[in-house]
Structure 1
């Protein structure tokens, strides 16, 4: 049966009735839950080299503000505590300890970054506190056997790397590929997926360059890659560096087929700083409707999104699609909380998160849904290619993935 966001209230009522009992009889609660409140922890890079991603946390706070204005979830208001870690793993661990041990949140939600989430994964699982819908696509977030309290959300980087490989094999079968990637789990996951997707043709990759998140620029790496004669560039980097790469490629007059990882595809966060004229022809993947795409201009869900955005994020950039992704993630979390009813234990929250069946959020692309299971901790697993025309991303081709 297909479940849609608009039916969440009726689903929640059914779930609450099925639980039996009442608030007067006392409900099963863990720290962070009461009759009136659900306390959620979050960690974002509001400062530092990945601060472009701060839009995620701002959007999630705005969505929960909307929920609270409408009466909360099952009569409980969301207390969303979002802290800055500067994209520094030691700081992430410090903030996670504060949220769990001092603020006593029910769970962590949408903590951002691969190296930062890696720093707290063991801690969260030892504490048996959900680390839910982490805002990073590393494949390690889908390992329920070893880390049953950690779950991803977006399509994982390994799978996206395989999609890029298939696209190259389909469209540039004789390509000479140059790759630039971040020297950590984030970049290595993408590279591993690309190589796996190319299979016995991975020798098509003729050059690889890395960068550290602390590097000031990646200009020298791009100069090296151009000198190899590569005609396809895989840009597997975070927004700050992705913008530098796009700009430097244009400055050098290099004209490769330029693939850009989805997490750096935001027009507002990456393409505008890089120069929209320099971004024409970029290819990425997508799983949600782009606010800048005219085909969704009169789409009901997009009109509702713009109304929400105007009310709750009045000074934000509507071209920054990280806001939309943050909202979609928050909607997924809302669904789980409504399904949990009055049984607000950490164990039940995790159980509900691993029991999502064909949830169709209105701003996901047609044919893409949210689905999980006890052995499937990858909620979104489908992608479609898109090309930037100077104004917006234009979808094309088939949907890849499971």
Structure 2
């Protein structure tokens, strides 16, 4: 009898000790599949670095509801079939709470077509595409954190139409990304009563642009809208200038201006205009940028620069973080999805983000920058 009483007392004491201890913090895994090899390596690397910078800052401050954030990344080489394969493997092996930062229109389209998000019931926050096929897909698990390509192209056409440009050409990647941009450009130019004098493409994952250069030079446009990635954009500008094309070149935000200048030389790249979907990373007037600059100095990411792509990664991660805060201390994929969908006029630092059941594009920020003779971007 005495032994049973002692056992019961020990059990009660152990239970009291357990209930008095603080709950152990969980580690919330966020999975990213992006190009960390091939021509878009800098894009995947900087997008990941921006997200990791935000996670480092949050974790150093105690996490979100005490939960630490972990970013798990895999390489898809910018190949859509590999994107689907790698995402499915991560979903099986790592049980992530959310997906983050998939790069490429065709890559995201493949995820949607294969119903990966719907089957797993998992949110995808931040995609490096603004294609209408993605942002207007209506998928309830998708949360874009950049303006659409249509909005970028409208900004370009409006800007140059106001100074008298009427003759436009389009240089595009021959895949879903480029074809979506081409369709948007055709619509914008038509709406502005302009003329599309030439359109010419190149194949994805190449810089084989000679035929496009020849076709566009022959048409004599005043401005060329470039729906192309950094490597192809650089080669197109280099060959076009060598061929005597003096048109104004304007690339979408997926082209990194300073990298173009590094590839082809500052003098050749000078004057290239590029749309941006996040504020200038070197400025000090925007609170979000000051926050990023301070964290960049504090946590010192290796082998990356503080560029627009890194800012895009940080912004997307911060929006994801706000969703986690609203989802509570024990988030599930569905709780996170529902919390993100309820975000209205959230101030990320001088920029406002809103979602709803019918709106999966959280921000519409678009600006136009231009490379100067030092290879730096100016507004």
What is the TM-score when the length of structure 2 is the normalising length? 0.85
Structure 1 Cα separation of the partners of residues 82 and 152 of structure 2: 29
Q: Does 1:337 align with 2:324?
A: yes
The Cα offsets for residues 45-83 of structure 1, whole Å up to 9 and x where unpaired, read as 000122121211122123212222221111001121111
Q: Which residue of 1 aligns with 2:12?
A: none
1:267 and 1:319 in contact (8 A); partners too: no
Q: Which residue of 2 aligns with 1:328?
A: 315
Q: Which has the larger radius of gyration?
A: 2
Q: Does 1:48 align with 2:23?
A: no
Q: Secondary structure at the match of 1:328?
A: helix
Q: Secondary structure at the match of 2:156?
A: helix
Q: Which residue of 2 aligns with 1:309?
A: 296
Structure 2 Cα separation of the partners of residues 178 and 317 of structure 1: 33
1:109 and 1:134 in contact (8 A); partners too: yes
Q: Which residue of 2 aligns with 1:165?
A: 157
Q: Does 1:119 align with 2:110?
A: yes
The Cα offsets for residues 248-277 of structure 1, whole Å up to 9 and x where unpaired, read as 22222321011111121x334333223222
1:162 and 1:195 in contact (8 A); partners too: no
How far off is 1:328 after superposition?
Answer: 1.4
Q: Which residue of 1 aligns with 2:97?
A: 106
Q: Which residue of 1 aligns with 2:220?
A: 229
1:125 and 1:150 in contact (8 A); partners too: no
Structure 2: where are the runs of 5+ without partners? 1-18
Structure 2 Cα separation of the partners of residues 143 and 302 of structure 1: 29
Q: Does 1:291 align with 2:281?
A: yes
The Cα offsets for residues 200-252 of structure 1, whole Å up to 9 and x where unpaired, read as 56661111111111334313321221122222111110111111122222222
Structure 2 Cα separation of the partners of residues 298 and 144 of structure 1: 35
The Cα offsets for residues 15-60 of structure 1, whole Å up to 9 and x where unpaired, read as xxxxxxxxx8xxxxxxxxx951211111110001221212111221
What is the TM-score when the length of structure 1 is the normalising length? 0.81
Q: Secondary structure at the match of 1:46?
A: coil
1:180 and 1:210 in contact (8 A); partners too: yes
- Residue among 206, 211, 226 paired with 2:197: 206
Q: Secondary structure at the match of 1:111?
A: strand
Structure 2 Cα separation of the partners of residues 91 and 315 of structure 1: 27
Structure 1: where are the runs of 5+ without partners? 1-23, 25-33, 396-402
Q: Secondary structure at the match of 1:309?
A: helix
RMSD of equivalent CA atoms: 2.3
Q: Secondary structure at the match of 2:73?
A: strand
Q: Secondary structure at the match of 1:134?
A: strand
Q: 1:351 to 1:144 in 2, by over 3 A?
A: farther
Q: Secondary structure at the match of 1:162?
A: helix
How far off is 1:297 after superposition?
Answer: 4.8
Q: 1:255 to 1:144 in 2, by over 3 A?
A: closer
Q: 1:269 to 1:319 in 2, by over 3 A?
A: farther
- Please give the residue correspondences for 1:191-270 in structure 2 after superposition, counting only pairs within 5 Å: 191-199=182-190, 204-264=195-255, 266-270=256-260
Aligned residues: 353
- Residue among 123, 131, 144 paired with 1:138: 131
